[in-house]
Amino acid sequence: MSPADSGPPIATINPATGELLQSFEPYDSVAVESRLAVAAATAPDWARSTFTERGRLLVTVAELLEGELPDIAHVVTTEMGKPFAQAKGEVAKCASSFRWFADHAEGMLTDQEVPVDASLGLVTYQPLGTILAIMPWNFPLWQVARFIAPAVMVGNVGLLKHAPSVPRTALLLEDLFRRAGAPAGVLQTLLIGTDQVAAVIADPRVAAVTLTGSVGAGRAVAAQAGAAGKKVVLELGGSDPFIVLPSADLERAVSVGVQARVQNAGQSCIAAKRFIVHQDVAEAFTQGFVAGMDALTVGDPFDPATEVGPLVTAAGRDTIATQVEDARSKGATILCGGEVVIGPGGPDHPGFFYRPTVITGITGGMRVATEEVFGPVALLYTVADADEALALANGTEFGLGSSVWTNEPDEQQRFVNELQAGQVFVNGMVVSMPELPFGGIKSSGIGRELSAQGLHEFCNVKSVWIA
């Protein structure tokens, strides 16, 4: 297989400057085999552990995250460019979620007695074994936490194939579990290229696969797992609508809308991407929203004043720039932004920055109309009524999250019922939390993470009947 087939290099490149900080050689077949063997050896023992032991491990990991929060956040910001305040928030969110699963998982995994024509009928939840997780760079701690926390509490073990741009974060996570006292095989990192993934999926010691990433990557992994007869959970792309109706609190909708579009420099599957605004409030919303986007400070992610950091790679920045230029060339109006920004490193080290952008006048032939826009670019539409808003919101291959702003109870219920998405947030931005299941429909994925549903995804849900 050619080097191009293995994907991008496994390396830490500072997105704020474009400088290579550290590169890693992919694990060879011997190293991969060693980690598979350790996982296979650990899985039966960990499956016999108690909920108390599993919960103690997660709480200890949480304590390490909290105790080392600034240092861990520094690694995240350096690797993928997230503003330091947001990176610290991600570390804290992971810690609180580990604690949540430690406190609540046992109740969600308790045997359920079912009335049957026998002396006893039960549904019991048992671990599957080793779960392979293929994770993205945009929330390099949280994406892993929402996989490994429920997996550990079920009694599974994990192999982490992280994005090639965040190897330091991947190794940091493995080390956190080691220092928390986890048996060697509970969480291991695989520094491998894309060309090595299929063999790991096919390996009989791997029981199931979870992936967060692009639609193309998800379909490829689903095909490989399907060929091996293995369960998959996929969290893929999104083109989330943010719908504003006449009864909305416009001031709050504008403020939250800006945050919902540019958090993590807009590099989030559940970011609000398409702003669908009723004509009665379109002028007022547009004025406030464009002003808010245009006023954002773009710059050094370690500067406390920075609100929007760099995109993670030059390729990511260039994709955004190309999508915007395509829309501009086909008649769209750029209300603000629409340009690459030179970072604080100057022309010699410009980084991968793009100015927050608002586009209107979008038509079906533009790339932004059908593709996921993974950066600080908002698409603004005006609609005549709720019917048109729903049709536009649902007129996409994606169905991950959605946000609707209305204070009319009947409208709220209608949009909750009719929006084609895995999540509907009313008068708030879409977020993930351990209490609620997370995932999408259509091309946005298969299965759920977090909450009871996420715990049950990688269980053997076993029926027991005793005469």
- Which residues are annotated as catalytic? 235, 269
C-alpha to C-alpha distance for 83 and 60, rounded to whole angstroms: 26
- The answer to whether 138 and 81 have CB atoms below 8 angstroms apart is no
Q: Residue 155 region, left (φ>0) first, then alpha (ψ -120 to 50), else beta?
A: left
**Rounded to 5 degrees, what angle do the CA atoms 143, 145, 149 make?**
140
Q: Which two tokens stand for residue 374?
A: 């993974």
How many residues are listed for the chain in this entry?
467
Decide if 301 contacts 16 (C-beta within 8 A).
yes
